[in-house]
Chain A
Amino acid sequence: MTLPSPFSGPHPLSRRVVGFFAVMIAVTATVAILGVILGMMAEFVTQGGGELSWAFLTEFPRNSNMEGGIWPALAGTTLLVLLMTLMGVPIGTATALYLSEFARKDAWFARTVRFAVNTLAGVPSIVFGLFGVGFFIQFVGVGLDAATGSVALGDGSLLWSSATLAVLTLPVVIVSVEEALRAVPLELREASLALGATRFQTITKVVLPNAVSGILTGSILAVGRGAGEVAAIMFVGVTYSAEALPNAVTEKFMHLGYHLYVLATQSPDVEKTLPLQYATTLVLLGLTFTLNFSAIIIRSRLRRH
């Protein structure tokens, strides 16, 4: 007879069998997902890796995008994402501040804002694109043009694409900043207020500095989401070919995701551009990976202090 192991609990055999299968399923699923990801990466690298070069990154496309590099798309994506962040993060942070610091929980206005944010998060990106056309271009842009006598704003542009993406990524920013604000201990706020600080001083000197990691994370998540977004900017300023980088925010721009879409569907010879598509995908993935990785680094750095 074997002695019972000190670690075998009072669980009946049936429960242990169920547990075993649950673990097996989880492990299998994880391995399968990893396999798919690695398989995809291998495919991209073997098919597109040969095209990757300094020239590919720094040259303009040639011959109807059939040859050459992706420089304007890379630069356009970067500019787009930068502008989007500059517009979206301050507004998102301000909204999160209002919701978590100023609004009473039962205030109808705060409830409405919260409901709108949650709804916004579930809206398909193409709808944001249409909103961009209707609101930013037709209403704001054309309106401003009419008022100032210019013609610069009433058409798709880097500016309106960034604005559209800023709206699209707003929920991500608001939710992560709000989470970070809520994580600031009540004791810290009370200590500040008890020392004679006003609410506003408490927010700028105590609450926000302690929520920096959340604000950064929200921004980077938003950037990651915005960098890969195509549908939302399709009608608001992206273009399939450009002679030069945009000189002003009112000009059109190229974009990695859209470039990929153009290569895959609009090219005179789609088969021939496959290596270019894979290489472009690699760059886009690399960009997203770098962003997420830097988000992780920044968070752990800040947490240590």
Chain B
Amino acid sequence: MAKELATKIHSSKFSVHYGSKQALFDVTLDIPERRVTAFIGPSGCGKSTFLRSINRMNDLIDSVRNDGRMIVDGIDVYDRLVDVAVLRRKIGMVFQKSIPFPKSIFENITYGLTLNERMSKSALNDVVESSLRKSALWDEVKDRLQHSAMGLSGGQQQRLCIARAIAINPEILLMDEPCSALDPISTAKVEELITELKDTYTIVLVTHNMQQAARVSDYTGFFLLGRMIEFDRTRTLFTSPSVKETEDYITGRFG
């Protein structure tokens, strides 16, 4: 694949166990920089597990055990010297059920920024504005930045969570079914947003919606039962898949 593109994330024979249950089997793949890479596959096949392994969110689960390597920018994220907090600032994440913090819109955006450093009010204002503009939310909320974020609609909340993630200027954005709880109009907005953001960020998008993967992604990986079955350019994968299971899945013969 993609010889001309730099690899941002590289996994090699990456496996995950939850206790005695294996969720990922020897996943090897290269995710290109500044492109949208989508993961599709039936639910329970390990898409979230793979995504959460990239920024080590799975560390939170007591029973998890990993094997193999997960390399981001040439560094194994599971290396003992890696500071997880620093790693996660570089790799933003947007969740399926993202709820804003029960704080103001402004505080939601500045949360990550003000964790470790003091910033001037005007610098914070700038970041809030630019993050909200990038996430196409500025016009809708610019007059009520001090209001609680809980008052936003579901679609606005999800875009706020995207704004919150990009406010700390990550290089990678992981999105785990970010539209699955949204109505079609909000979904369209988020998809448009993803397309705009890919010039700046390496985006990895998990979706159960094949049309969405086809619409917004450059590369697509098909997961099945914990294995990476096929990984290719999105167009190639959807028009001429080389593996029988992929073809069965995208033509709706199972899943």
| Contact in complex: B60, A196 (CB < 8 Å) | no
A104 contacts which chain B residues (CB < 8 A)? 62
Once the chains are docked, how many angstroms separate the CA of A210 from the CA of B103? 10
Listed residue (A187, A192, A195, A206) with the most chain B CB atoms within 10 angstroms of its CB: A195
B165 contacts which chain A residues (CB < 8 A)? 194-195
B238 CB-CB contact with A under 8 Å: no
With beta carbons under 8 angstroms apart, the residue of B92, B97, B101, B116 that contacts A194 is B92
Listed residue (A187, A193, A196, A198) with the most chain B CB atoms within 10 angstroms of its CB: A196
B97 contacts which chain A residues (CB < 8 A)? 187
| Contact in complex: B95, A196 (CB < 8 Å) | no
| Contact in complex: B60, A195 (CB < 8 Å) | no
With beta carbons under 8 angstroms apart, the residue of B86, B98, B99, B101 that contacts A196 is B86
| Contact in complex: A195, B99 (CB < 8 Å) | no
CB closest residue in chain A, given B93 = A194
Q: How far is the CB of B106 from chain A (nearest CB, A)?
A: 15
A190-B57 contact given A195-B164, A195-B165, CB 8 Å threshold: yes
Once the chains are docked, how many angstroms separate the CA of A187 from the CA of B157? 13
Once the chains are docked, how many angstroms separate the CA of A194 from the CA of B97? 14
Once the chains are docked, how many angstroms separate the CA of A14 from the CA of B246? 60
| Contact in complex: A195, B102 (CB < 8 Å) | no
Q: How far is the CB of B103 from chain A (nearest CB, A)?
A: 9
Q: How far is the CB of B208 from chain A (nearest CB, A)?
A: 19
Once the chains are docked, how many angstroms separate the CA of A26 from the CA of B57? 50
CB closest residue in chain A, given B88 = A196
A210-B89 contact given A190-B95, A192-B111, A196-B112, CB 8 Å threshold: no
B85 CB-CB contact with A under 8 Å: yes
Once the chains are docked, how many angstroms separate the CA of A201 from the CA of B89? 14
| Contact in complex: A187, B98 (CB < 8 Å) | yes
Once the chains are docked, how many angstroms separate the CA of A206 from the CA of B116? 15
Q: Which of A175-213 contact B (CB under 8 A)?
A: 185, 187-198, 201, 205-206, 210
Listed residue (B62, B85, B86, B161) with the most chain A CB atoms within 10 angstroms of its CB: B85
CB closest residue in chain B, given A210 = B102
Interface string of B160-182 (1 = CB under 8 A from A): 01001100100000000000000
Q: How far is the CB of B150 from chain A (nearest CB, A)?
A: 9
| Contact in complex: A191, B161 (CB < 8 Å) | yes
Once the chains are docked, how many angstroms separate the CA of A193 from the CA of B102? 16
| Contact in complex: A194, B102 (CB < 8 Å) | no
Once the chains are docked, how many angstroms separate the CA of A215 from the CA of B37? 44
Once the chains are docked, how many angstroms separate the CA of A107 from the CA of B164? 35
Q: How far is the CB of A25 from chain B (nearest CB, A)?
A: 43
A15 CB-CB contact with B under 8 Å: no
A16 CB-CB contact with B under 8 Å: no
| Contact in complex: A185, B112 (CB < 8 Å) | no
Q: How far is the CB of B220 from chain A (nearest CB, A)?
A: 24
With beta carbons under 8 angstroms apart, the residue of A188, A194, A197, A305 that contacts B99 is A188
| Contact in complex: A195, B62 (CB < 8 Å) | no
B115 contacts which chain A residues (CB < 8 A)? 195-197, 201, 205
Once the chains are docked, how many angstroms separate the CA of A226 from the CA of B58? 43
B156 CB-CB contact with A under 8 Å: no
A188 contacts which chain B residues (CB < 8 A)? 99, 101
B55 CB-CB contact with A under 8 Å: yes
CB closest residue in chain B, given A194 = B93
B55 contacts which chain A residues (CB < 8 A)? 194
| Contact in complex: B111, A193 (CB < 8 Å) | no
Once the chains are docked, how many angstroms separate the CA of A190 from the CA of B97? 11
Q: How far is the CB of B44 from chain A (nearest CB, A)?
A: 19
Give B residues with C-beta under 8 Å from A: 55, 57, 60, 62, 85-86, 88-89, 92-93, 95, 97-99, 101-102, 111-112, 115-116, 148, 161, 164-165, 168
Listed by A's residue number, 15 A-B pairs whose Cβ atoms lie within 8 Å are: A188-B99, A189-B60, A190-B57, A191-B98, A191-B161, A192-B111, A193-B57, A194-B55, A194-B88, A195-B165, A196-B88, A196-B89, A197-B115, A205-B111, A305-B102
Give A residues with C-beta under 8 Å from B: 104-105, 185, 187-198, 201, 205-206, 210, 305
